[in-house]
């Protein structure tokens, strides 16, 4: 398997990582004693996105709707751009 970006073969560990890893990649890249910690970190980061609507609801009376919309768009772009670069790269 040769990568498009460098033309080099990645290390064997990375060759086994699925294209959309999520929690399935943890056993492939982590030592046994680190797997539960990495799984926990993955789920904390994954589910932290559910906090955004609550935060928007709490801040809505204090912040104008256009500013909240702009902030939401900025947060959305901040999460989409790195993923897009990773998939293209």
pLDDT digits (tens, 9 = 90+) for 24-49: 777 777 788 888 888 888 888 788 88
- Mean pLDDT (whole number) for 61-83: 85
Confidence band for 8, pLDDT divided at 50, 70 and 90: low
Give Cα separations from 41 to 4, 38, 56, 78, 83 (angstroms).
30, 5, 24, 19, 18
Q: What is the pLDDT of residue 71?
A: 86
Q: What is the pLDDT of residue 42?
A: 82
Q: How far apart are CA 39 and CA 64, in angstroms?
A: 38
Give Cα separations from 18 to 7, 13, 23 (angstroms).
19, 11, 10
């Amino acid at each position: 398997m040769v990568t498009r970006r460098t033309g080099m073969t990645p290390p064997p560990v990375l060759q086994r990582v699925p294209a959309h890893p999520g929690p399935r990649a943890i056993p492939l890249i982590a030592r046994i004693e680190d797997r539960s910690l990495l799984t926990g970190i993955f789920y904390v980061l994954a589910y932290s996105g559910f906090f955004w609507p609550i935060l928007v609801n709490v801040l809505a009376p204090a912040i104008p709707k256009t500013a909240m919309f702009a902030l939401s768009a900025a947060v959305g772009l901040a999460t989409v751009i790195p993923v897009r670069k990773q998939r293209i790269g």
